[in-house]
Structure 1
Amino acid sequence: MLDENLARIRAHRNNIHRYRRLLKTRLSQLERQFVERRLAEEQSALDGLTAATFPVSFRASGAPANATGIAQ
């Protein structure tokens, strides 16, 4: 399961890099809107998958924690 999630994370990261490279090129307004929407979707998917795969939260040294022990 972890290997599958790592492969999916890698695929999302590759797609994000591809879309960012595309945004640096000359695109029509329609193409730019499409790429920006896909970039946002890929970033959202990556964030969700990363949070599910690595649910650990680290607290910076000296940062106060709330009642649950999570740094704010």
Structure 2
Amino acid sequence: MLDQDFARIRAHRNNLSRYRRLLKTELSDIERQFIERRLAEEQTALEALAADAFPAAFTVPNAPSAIATTGVER
């Protein structure tokens, strides 16, 4: 299962790279809108897949901890 997830992540990343390259070229307004929409869809799909494949999340506290401000652990 993990190999399939890696392959799907790689495919989404390749698509994102291709769409970003295309946006650097001369496009009509309709083409640009289409590419921008596909870019957003691919990014969303990649984020959802990554969150599903790797559910562990680490958060950084907004406020400094007591250790950082005082240097002493409570």
TM over 0.5: yes
Where does residue 4 of structure 2 map in the other structure?
4
Q: CA deviation at 1:43?
A: 0.4
CA distance in 2, matches of 1:58, 1:29: 40
Where does residue 27 of structure 1 map in the other structure?
27
Moved beyond 6 Å, runs of 4+: none
Residue identity over aligned pairs, in percent, reads 66
Match runs of 1:28-43 below 5 Å: 28-43=28-43
Q: CA deviation at 1:15?
A: 0.2
Q: Which letter does structure 2 place at the counterpart of 1:39?
A: L
Match runs of 1:48-63 below 5 Å: 48-60=48-60, 63=61
- May I ask how many residue pairs the two structures share in their alignment? 62
Q: Which letter does structure 1 place at the counterpart of 2:29?
A: Q
Higher-Rg member (1/2): 2
Gaps spanning 5+ residues in structure 1: where?
Answer: 65-72
Q: Name the one with the larger helix percent.
A: 2
TM-score, normalization by structure 1: 0.81
TM-score, normalization by structure 2: 0.79
Q: CA deviation at 1:59?
A: 3.2
CA distance in 2, matches of 1:21, 1:40: 14
